Structure 1
């Protein structure tokens, strides 16, 4: 997707106004009074913008930048059915939201009740059929970008970017162009999740109280992941504070130099340790408080090394 790659293989350009209008129409029937729905709409639009900025910084072609923007716009489309059916962001307690997104975009929302996708069967609701019809009619990739949907290469890139955006690791078999877009979307998603979790409240995001978060431990697996400079796997997150450690670990796995620079400019990298969810009180769990201080210093040193090596700006901390 860079200037050096063959233009003949590039997917069709994106009509952004159409794609954005289609997104607005798709989310319109969902409960706008639910703060989680509002959160996901705002997150989606920011990820699309961030994906564009990262792709531009990485030297993608204009068409490549467009496809990254579209993939960012669509990456979390599965969240809306997840929230309506299960009222949670937790995939383990509902269904894989990325797989729901692929189903809506590419399979006509025909697998929403498939046991292979669903981890917890939701209670039946009288509007299920109406929403399934809505997903079928309004959620197809062709509704967002007919040219991309008609182009096999472009459609497969979007499928991969949506399907793998929250995976712990990308499959080794991805081709270079697909991996490049997937990495852009994953970077953009990580950057904005840092923002969401530092500007929204703990009850909305984690479903617990401030006191419960501040009293929690950090599990050994999450601690090991942090000091190994890798992301925390979902099955390693045992304690509420592990979520904060996992957020901080996002910084280690940002692929593009432009992504780290954007994250630094936004100023949210260190807030999981400083003011998680805007909480200014200290951890009441003294062991966690001590460990969080250590992690904060370690991450700052790591970021300093990377920015000095790449020439990226380091803001005043």
Structure 2
């Protein structure tokens, strides 16, 4: 495996897309952020060089389908395109994977990890090494997504401002889902506040203590919640309760003897 070769091929692939588009730029930066997070989780887990390199290549390619989605629809909405399925199609059905990787011995792991990286629940993976990498990419993706939602232009990924978001209500079903320690189905979101809450509760889908340590070290929960000024009093109260619940979950996860 040669990550440098894969990264060069990725830059060539991006030439077909408008890299001045804010959404495209966001996804390019996100891709390399996921690579860094994957490498960091591997380091903390003391994984070997081969698994680390494999995790980085999966991270590099995990969102390759997003760029065509943005080109066709200018949208991240899952209703416009299943970007994971499209990524698997162009990589493996159209053999694009060989641009990034000469060897085929890791193809099954890469295919499964990319195909399942945005599934609501990770299931139906029995091979231990494939499961490891499927979990790694899901964690690395969410860890950089926290950075995106904290640092990037709010209008680019939300379509409205922080101030406008803070005037809105959290739907009752979304609020209740948080306290079941569950992530939120895209199709269940109604208001833009629902979207905002759904990004924060990605913590409930993290797999590794090392990933949760990164969340705690960066104080992501508090910082994310404080990014939006909640002018609606009911929303402000509920977000305080969500913050307390989420921070307790992080602490309990870190302290669990079974991880």
Shorter-chain TM-score tier: over 0.9
Verify the 8 A CA contact 1:48 1:72 in the aligned structure 2. Answer: yes
Show structure 1 runs of 5+ residues with no match.
Answer: 1-13, 109-135, 277-281, 311-317
The equivalent residue for 2:206 is 254
Q: 1:299 aligns with which of 227, 246, 255?
A: 246
Task: Answer with 194-203 or 183-192: which moved more.
Answer: 194-203
Q: 1:309 deviation in Å? A: 4.2
Task: Answer with 213-222 or 287-296: which moved more.
Answer: 213-222
Q: 2:102 aligns with which of 138, 146, 159?
A: 146
The equivalent residue for 1:217 is 169
- Does residue 166 of the first structure (1) align with residue 122 of the second (2)? no
Task: Answer with 175-184 or 263-272: which moved more.
Answer: 263-272
Q: Distance in 2 between matches of 1:304 and 1:258?
A: 12
The equivalent residue for 1:41 is 28
Verify the 8 A CA contact 1:226 1:249 in the aligned structure 2. Answer: yes
- Does residue 289 of the first structure (1) align with residue 236 of the second (2)? yes
1:62-73 to structure 2, matched below 5 A, reads: 62-73=49-60
- Count of residue pairs brought into register by the alignment: 258
Show structure 2 runs of 5+ residues with no match.
Answer: none
Verify the 8 A CA contact 1:194 1:247 in the aligned structure 2. Answer: yes
The equivalent residue for 2:74 is 87
Q: Distance in 2 between matches of 1:170 and 1:293?
A: 29
Q: Secondary structure at the match of 2:19?
A: coil
Q: Distance in 1 between matches of 2:218 and 2:176?
A: 27
1:267–1:28 CA distance, 2 compared to 1 (3 A): farther
The equivalent residue for 1:279 is none
- Does residue 205 of the first structure (1) align with residue 192 of the second (2)? no
The equivalent residue for 1:155 is 107
Verify the 8 A CA contact 2:170 2:193 in the aligned structure 1. Answer: yes
The equivalent residue for 1:133 is none
1:274–1:209 CA distance, 2 compared to 1 (3 A): closer
Q: Distance in 1 between matches of 2:102 and 2:221?
A: 37
| 1:267-300 Cα deviation digits (max 9, x unpaired) | 3233331114xxxxx3122111110011112222
Tell which structure's C-alpha radius of gyration is larger: 1
1:261–1:173 CA distance, 2 compared to 1 (3 A): closer
Q: Secondary structure at the match of 1:40?
A: helix
Q: Distance in 1 between matches of 2:138 and 2:17?
A: 25
Verify the 8 A CA contact 1:244 1:272 in the aligned structure 2. Answer: no
The equivalent residue for 2:88 is 102
Q: 1:263 deviation in Å? A: 2.2
